Amino acid sequence: MIYNEEFETLPREALEALQLKRLKQVVQRVYYTVGFYRRAFDQAGVQPENLKTLDDLKRFPFTGKQDLRENYPFGLFAVPMSSIVRLHASSGTTGRATVVGYTQRDIDTWSELMARCFAAAGLTKNDMIHNAYGYGLFTGGLGAHYGAERLGASVIPISGGNTKRQITILQDFGPTAICCTPSYALNLAEQGKAMGVDMRALKLRVGIFGAEPWSEEMRREIESALNLTALNIYGLSEIMGPGVSMECLEGRQGMHIAEDHFLVETINPDTGEVLPPGETGELVFTTITKEAFPLVRYRTRDISRLIPEPCRCGRTHHRMDRIMGRSDDMLIIRGVNVFPSQIEAVLVGIEGIEPHYQLIVDRIDNLDTIEVQVEVSDELFSNADEVKVLQNMERRIVKDIKDYLGISAKVKLVEPKSLQRFEGKATRVQDKRRI
């Protein structure tokens, strides 16, 4: 089902006309209300009047995470605090948190966009949604919550954590949909199994997973463990929160971007040059309807590619591929660029090991080292009375990583369930290097 048929299926030409009208307004507004933008535009020698076509956006400067940090906490807000009805913040692994604000209209827009996502997942008011995204400063919980209510579905605001209780509620209430991070979905499946619950027999039909990178292999893993259809949802606090883009049930290949609210570009992260649609690069978003916290050309550091081909669901909004990594979490191991998600993809393709892993990067004698710690399955562990079985497995993983990624990794197999589990985003890399 398409939640907002009119806007989600706008012919391209009409959509672009709408985008241009909205973009002109936002560029004007930030220039006259946010000191940072006035200075940035002046410095780049551009004025709002210079924006006559969508293509002119290229002439405007980027906004980066650093700009947000420097204007912490409220310096980039475009409305007075009396118009702000909600604040969220993203923790950020390094440095200060990023704080974002919403007017009532922003919350209404966000709720509608999340309702569109749920509808794209085939949900209606007759569904019950188990929302295990964290409630609080993180945008996941409340973002999904308001969208589910807008759709008219019954929402269980379970938030993150307390996994045993979550499993009881999944059994007793019988929700038809679940929202959480993909790593938590696997965690739930695993703990449920350990409790003796048949996790495939729950009523869950569909899962809306995002907030961290995952792979097609992980999708299959979750689908088989929970017997549901797993869909990808993307978003970031700076741009709005979850719901910036979402996969549809019909296509299941790439996430439709809410292009009537956000403009997207892909750029070469090193040069800033705008790439043609379809090429892999860093995603850059401009919000064109946000009131409280509009952003012009925000560099997400997320690496993906746009899919301009039409989708069979009938939505005209372009799709983006799953996030392949971040231009800033990329590891350089002895000169080779490696994304943790690529290592994960290798690992989950190997039978006998679990998708729980840790990467420990170090520098010893001036040489980068990477150790991959990965859990073996219960079956393999109990059959591994011969050390040889485990040794062979280690060798196999070392070879696969070498073959696929071109790096020499040390592999350490660890006991089932011995690595840390995550209730929100998984943090799988420990980079101990001092450079």
- In angstroms, give the least distance from the CB of 219 to ligand DLL: 11
Contacts of 155 (CB under 8 A, 6+ apart): 128, 129, 131, 144, 145, 148, 149
Query: Please, what is the Cα angle at 355 between 349 and 358, to 5 degrees?
Result: 115
- In angstroms, give the least distance from the CB of 298 to ligand DLL: 10
In the complex with ligand DLL, which residue's Cβ is closer, 98 or 176? 98
Of positions 167, 188, 206, 211, contacts ligand DLL by CB under 6 A: 211
Asked if 241 touches ligand DLL (CB under 6 A), the answer is: yes
Asked if 394 touches ligand DLL (CB under 6 A), the answer is: no
Strand ranges in 237-385 using DSSP code E only, listed in sequence order: 241-247, 255-257, 262-267, 281-287, 298-304, 306-307, 319-320, 325-326, 331-333, 336-338, 353-364, 367-376
**Paired tokens of 189:** 């499946």
Residues numbered 319-338 forming contacts with ligand DLL, rule: CB under 6 A: 323, 326
Asked if 285 touches ligand DLL (CB under 6 A), the answer is: no
Q: Torsion angle of alpha carbons 59, 61, 62, 68, nearest 10°?
A: -160
Q: Are 374 and 414 in contact (CB under 8 A)?
A: yes
In the complex with ligand DLL, which residue's Cβ is closer, 143 or 352? 143
Asked if 242 touches ligand DLL (CB under 6 A), the answer is: yes
Each residue 86-125 as x (binds ligand DLL by CB under 6 A) or -, in order, gives ----x-----------------------------------
In the complex with ligand DLL, which residue's Cβ is closer, 51 or 188? 188
Q: Which range, of 183-191, 208-216, 385-393, 396-404, touches ligand DLL by CB under 6 A?
A: 208-216
- In angstroms, give the least distance from the CB of 208 to ligand DLL: 8
CA distance 10 to 14: 6
CA distance 78 to 344: 41
Of positions 147, 160, 192, 213, contacts ligand DLL by CB under 6 A: 213
Q: Are 167 and 132 in contact (CB under 8 A)?
A: no
In the complex with ligand DLL, which residue's Cβ is closer, 378 or 422? 422
In the complex with ligand DLL, which residue's Cβ is closer, 300 or 316? 300
CA distance 406 to 332: 12
- In angstroms, give the least distance from the CB of 303 to ligand DLL: 9
Each residue 178-207 as x (binds ligand DLL by CB under 6 A) or -, in order, gives ------------------------------
Of positions 3, 7, 60, 133, contacts ligand DLL by CB under 6 A: 133
Q: Torsion angle of alpha carbons 127, 131, 132, 133, nearest 10°?
A: 140
Inter-CA distances, 81 with 26, 69, 219, Å: 19, 19, 42
Query: How many residues line the site for ligand DLL (CB under 6 A)?
Result: 20
CA distance 220 to 222: 6
- In angstroms, give the least distance from the CB of 192 to ligand DLL: 22
Long-range pairs, 98-103, Cβ under 8 A, ≥24: 98/65, 98/68, 98/69, 98/72, 98/237, 98/238, 99/72, 99/73, 99/74, 100/139, 100/237, 100/238, 100/241, 100/292, 100/293, 101/74, 101/77, 101/292, 101/293, 102/292, 102/293, 103/79, 103/291, 103/292
- In angstroms, give the least distance from the CB of 6 to ligand DLL: 25
Q: Which range, of 209-217, 259-267, 273-281, 354-362, touches ligand DLL by CB under 6 A?
A: 209-217
Of positions 140, 207, 254, 281, contacts ligand DLL by CB under 6 A: 140
Each residue 218-237 as x (binds ligand DLL by CB under 6 A) or -, in order, gives --------------xxxxxx
The footprint of ligand DLL (CB under 6 A) covers 90, 133, 139-140, 210-213, 232-237, 241-242, 300, 302, 323, 326
